Amino acid sequence: MWNLIRTAVLLLTVITGLTGFVYPLAVTGLAQIFFPHQANGSLIRIDEHRRVSELIGQPFSDPKYFWGRPSATMPLAYNAASSAGSNLGPTNRALEEAAGDRVATLRKSDPRNRLPVPVDLVTTSGSGLDPHISPAAALYQVPRVARARELDERIVSALVRRSVCDRQLGLFGEPTVHVLRLNMALDALR
């Protein structure tokens, strides 16, 4: 009986050491060697004091910037500590009202723009943290951003087209525009 208990305790200690300490340290070390940017949170330096993760959307509301997808996180937008979708189904009245309010906000921010509002500007992503929008959503915002910055729309539109990230491996997903990187490139124009 004591042999079985001793064997079980020894096996538990060895497995715990391997899976709880050795393996995580090895994976962390390899990640730091081969993928340091990703292993450290994919941080982008905005200025000497601020860094943000390129994996998490940022709130932009100034008309001179491109706006990302709405965030479903509470109590703050793009709060990575409370990542969640809205859990509202397509027939839910609250989802319809929220999308309608967002369309009204977009129309109010750019009354001259009569194009159809792209769906990703009025609906949240599954995580509520998506840093990307579709090229159509970025192009929809070009007139507002160009006017607010007193730039030619063709220049801003060309910047959007250069900022489009193609499908992964040319097959997976849809083309996207990283909102933070686009806004940083916009700031660099001046």
**HEC assignment per residue over the chain:** CHHHHHHHHHHHHHHHHHHHHHHHHHHHHHHHHHCHHHHCCCEEECCCCCEEECCCCCCCCCCCCCCCCCCCCCCCCCCHHHCCCCCCCCCCHHHHHHHHHHHHHHHHHCCCCCCCCCHHHCCCCCCCCCCEECHHHHHHHHHHHHHHHCCCHHHHHHHHHHCEECCECCCECCCEEEHHHHHHHHHHCC
Q: Is 17's pLDDT higher than 90? A: yes
60 with 147, same domain: the answer is yes
pLDDT at 107: 92
- Look over the chain and give the mean of its residue pLDDT values, rounded to a whole number: 89
101 with 81, same domain: the answer is yes
14 with 60, same domain: the answer is no
Number of domains in the chain: 2
pLDDT at 83: 77
32 with 53, same domain: the answer is no
19 with 113, same domain: the answer is no
138 with 154, same domain: the answer is yes
Q: How confident is the model at residue 178 (pLDDT cuts 50, 70, 90)?
A: very high
48 with 25, same domain: the answer is no
17 with 50, same domain: the answer is no
71 with 97, same domain: the answer is yes
31 with 49, same domain: the answer is no
58 with 33, same domain: the answer is no
pLDDT at 9: 95
Q: How confident is the model at residue 144 (pLDDT cuts 50, 70, 90)?
A: very high
pLDDT at 55: 85
84 with 64, same domain: the answer is yes
When pLDDT is averaged across residues 33-52 and rounded to a whole number, the result is 85
* Host domain of residue 171: 42-188
Q: How confident is the model at residue 94 (pLDDT cuts 50, 70, 90)?
A: confident
